Amino acid sequence: MKAEPCSSRSANDNNCLMGSINESVNSTICDESKLGRLVLSIPENGCSRQKASSPFFCFGGFPWRLSAKTECSERTSHIEHFSVYVDCNPESQSTLWSCDAVVEVRLISKSLGTANYTKRFTNKFALNSNNWGFPAFLEWDTVKDPKNGFISDGMIELEALIEIKGSSGVKQRVHVDFTSANNLSNTILVVEGQELHVNRDYLSLYSPVFDSLFNHNFAERSQERIELHDLKYNEFKELLQVLYPAHAKLNSDNVDFVLVLADRFQIDYVIRKCEKFLIKTDEFSNELKLVYADRYNFPSLQHHCIVEIKSTDQIKTLKKSEEYRSLSDKTKAALFEKTVKLL
């Protein structure tokens, strides 16, 4: 197919919808993995010369983003192309960081017998090179050609596989491996038949429940292996990661069970962290936050929720919700007081 000169679409066309990060990737935790995967989905009729971008996904100590647009310029030989870029830490104004990475960008084909279209690049991301990619990734006519399968159900799907080869300016978080013994572990906790190597003094310092188990319960005090019941291994391990110096971050996926476990083992440090997270996050509705405040007696969270209510209509909507039914009389009284103030 002969490439045609690009049409005069407006450079101000801003109907390019934001892409979405792959739900299998947790974008709220900036982990230290050296491998990352970004996914960007764009409606065909929303792709213009204004970039569509995925949310930021944090790994290797840096925030990453995948973007795409169409471009017709000298660097694309005045032929309209599909352009693809990867951003690394773009909001930083510091010169004290860098990240060497190999990036493989794939345009996904849904057509049987047609391979994904792939290009790779290597870049040292830094202050003045935090955005890299391909202005002329693939001709736009080729992307639109139905036989290639790059557009399926009106959507274009891109992914970027990123491997970090080296970096500077990132302080690595302490990693604690509970699956094997180390010089700081002196007790084995068994959950769902799997062992977790912990330090009983450290846990006793934060939890009166563990303090009683390790130091006051005569039977367990002399045991090197202690079995804990009615727990899920992965959830309890996550609690330990939050509590230990690794201080794993809370997110919308783990805060509920971490809070349940922190309450069970009376770990005030983790409970306070959960309340602070719930105050700051915008991933939960105000109604659900009120339930958490009520359930765990979080006055600061309850205050935050009530301050967020700006009208009596919001309270009327709240009263119709499932969450309202589970609220205590004290919280309902606080909402009544708020209603009076808004009248």
Q: What is the DSSP string of 72-122?
A: -SGGGTTB-EEEEEEEESTT---SS-EEEEEEEEEEPP-STT-PPEEEEEE
Q: Which pLDDT score, from 0 to 100, does residue 342 have?
A: 93
CB 233 within 8 A of CB 191: yes
Q: What is the DSSP letter of 128?
A: G
**Which CATH class for the 35-168 domain?**
mainly beta
Q: Which residues of 195-210 are buried (b: 16+ CB within 10 A; e: fewer)?
A: ebbbebebbbebbeeb
Q: Which pLDDT score, from 0 to 100, does residue 21 have?
A: 35
Residues 162, 171: Cα–Cα separation, whole Å: 20
Which helix or strand (DSSP H or E) is residue 6 part of?
none
Q: Which pLDDT score, from 0 to 100, does residue 223 have?
A: 85
pLDDT tens, residue by residue, 115-146: 999 999 999 999 999 999 999 999 999 999 99
For residue 121, the number of C-alpha atoms closer than 13 Å in the C-beta half-sphere is 15
Residues 227, 85: Cα–Cα separation, whole Å: 51
Q: Where are the domains of the chain?
A: 35-168
CB 238 within 8 A of CB 297: no
pLDDT < 50 regions, the chain:
1-2, 8-29
297: left (phi over 0), alpha (psi -120 to 50) or beta: left
Residue 159, Cβ neighbours under 10 Å: how many? 19
Which helix or strand (DSSP H or E) is residue 65 part of?
strand 62-71
CB 141 within 8 A of CB 3: yes
Q: Which pLDDT score, from 0 to 100, does residue 28 have?
A: 37
User: Radius of gyration of the chain from Cα atoms?
Assistant: 26
Q: Which pLDDT score, from 0 to 100, does residue 221 have?
A: 72
CA distances from 195 to 179, 188, 189, 229 (A): 6, 6, 6, 13
Q: Which pLDDT score, from 0 to 100, does residue 137 have?
A: 98
Residues 195, 233: Cα–Cα separation, whole Å: 9
Residue 242 one-letter amino acid: V
Residues 186, 281: Cα–Cα separation, whole Å: 37
Q: Which pLDDT score, from 0 to 100, does residue 101 have?
A: 98
CB 298 within 8 A of CB 328: no
Residues 265, 95: Cα–Cα separation, whole Å: 44
Question: Which residues lie closer than 8 Å to 206 by C-beta, 6 or more apart?
Answer: 243, 267, 268, 269, 270
Question: Which residues lie closer than 8 Å to 30 by C-beta, 6 or more apart?
Answer: 58, 59, 61, 62, 63, 249
Beta bridge partners, 197, equal 188
Q: Which pLDDT score, from 0 to 100, does residue 31 have?
A: 56
Q: Which residues of 63-72 are buried (b: 16+ CB within 10 A; e: fewer)?
A: bbbbbbbbbb
Which helix or strand (DSSP H or E) is residue 218 part of?
helix 218-221
